[in-house]
Each structure stands twice: as structure tokens, then as C-alpha cells.
Amino acid sequence: MNKFLSFCKKVGNKFLDLVFPLNTKCIFCNNEIVDFDKKPYCDECEKYAFNKGAKCIKCDTRIKEGNKICDHCKSHKRYFEKCFCPLNYEKAVRSSILSFKDSNARYLAKSYAKIIFDYIKDENLHFDIITFVPSHKTSIKRRGYNPAKLLADEIALLFDKPRLETLLKITHTKAQKNLSYSERAKNLENSMMVTNAKLIKGKTILLVDDVVTTCATSNQCAKLLKNFADKIYVTAIARNHLKPEKQS
């Protein structure tokens, strides 16, 4: 049934694309581009947008050439196997993601999902279920949606995997962006619970978020899921890179 519904949604999306074509502007800077279907971003944005070079094998943040793991991941236990973030959270990419998260730019989910899909499809990554970082009902009411859920839906279509809601945000926590790692972790304590525990028992899960900074949120989600699941991988649209070492 899941595969049938997935097929129907794919057909429906193709029809909508023909009747109401996506715009032909760069999803980051909004400049005109030649072939949106080939790549939905312009050549100028491509020069800085992608997360390339030496990166931590655990959290995908930039590190010095020759290193394998960042000091942050050495200092904090990670409950996920690896995090995959194709873009850098800066300049026009940052503005684009903020529009997706807070200005109802839901249409961007499809392009972001394709970028994530292309980034990890050759990683020989095997997972059974796709899930997402939950939002509290207060945040969903304010926005009208959960960006991570929209993204997970599109990624599930591309990978042809079931998307399952496995976590529920039961406490409305304060914003994480101005908190240190330890403050973020404490802020999230007892704020979420696992749902559908039986369905994830022994499974490998791909957990979807929008932006990753310290990994506190995705790590807390992975910690809860690991009580039932076997392995957790994390992916997000972009990496807000950690500042040089010893940052909490």
C-alpha cells in the first residue's frame, strides 16, 4: 500500500509540474537560470553553496585537512552513525532556508530533497525508514507546517522508502540558536517522546532535519530512537559550521 501511494503521489507531482511549472529562478539568489530541472541553482551560488573539502566523518562540519573527526565530536557522545549536510548555511543559502522555514516557501522542499538525495545516494547507505525532527504544535500552528516533515516526505519519495512519524515534541522549548551545546542539550531534555516504537525496533533510520549546527537536536532525537532502533543516520539541508574547536 505504501508503494502504491508513493507511486500515485509521484504521478500527481509530475502532472502538477506540467500544468504549473516550477519557476526558473535560482532557489538561493532568485536569479534566472537556464535549466531548472538539471540544477535549481545558478553558477555563482554553486561556487560557495556546497559543503566540500575536509569534513568531520561524524558530523560533516569543516575540519583541518588531514583530520578525520572534529574536537566537538570527540568531546560529545554521538548517538547517530553519521550526519550528511550537502550545503553551507551561509549567504543566499541561509536566506533561502529561512524562507523555507518561516516564510511559507514550502515549494523549496522538493529542490532541497533532490540536493540531499544526490549527496547521499552514492554513500552505500542502507536504511529502512525515514523520519524527521518533530516540531511542537505551537510552532506548527505559527508556521502552518513542520519544515523537516515536508523535507522528509520528498526524500521518502526519492528513495522509495516509508516515511514514519517516530517522535513527538511534547514540550515547547525556547529557541536553540543562541544557546551553547550543553544549554541546547538541557533545553531538549524530556521535550520529546518516541511513537510507533514497535515499528522501528531493530530498524535503521534516516532522521531528517533542516539545518544542523551543534547536532544537539539531532543527537537527542537519535538517543531516543536508539532505545528501539538499530542505527540512526542524520541528514539536513545545510551545515552551520562549528567555529574552531573548543566551542560548546
Interval 200-229: pLDDT, tens: 999 999 999 999 999 999 999 999 999 999
102 in any annotated domain: yes
The pLDDT of residue 183 is 78
Exposure of 76 by Cβ count < 10 A (0-12 exposed, 13-18 middle, 19+ buried)? middle
What CATH number does residue 52 fall under?
Answer: 3.40.50.2020
Given a contact cutoff of 8 angstroms between Cβ atoms, the answer to whether 25 and 33 are in contact is yes
Extract long-range pairs of 18-23: CB within 8 Å, 24+ residues apart: 22/107, 22/110, 22/111
232 in any annotated domain: yes
Given a contact cutoff of 8 angstroms between Cβ atoms, the answer to whether 6 and 160 are in contact is yes
246 in any annotated domain: no
Q: What is the mean pLDDT of residues 100-105?
A: 95
Q: Are strands 192-194 and 167-169 parallel, antiparallel or unpaired?
A: antiparallel
Number of domains in the chain: 1
The pLDDT of residue 9 is 63
31 in any annotated domain: yes
Q: What is the mean pLDDT of residues 125-129?
A: 95
Tell me which of 19 and 57 has the higher pLDDT: 57
The pLDDT of residue 246 is 42
- What is the pTM for the complete model shown? 0.87
Can you give the residue range of the structural domain that contains 54?
2-239
245 in any annotated domain: no
Tell me which of 185 and 25 has the higher pLDDT: 25
248 in any annotated domain: no
State yes or no: pLDDT of 45 exceeds 60: yes
Share of the chain above pLDDT 90, in %: 74
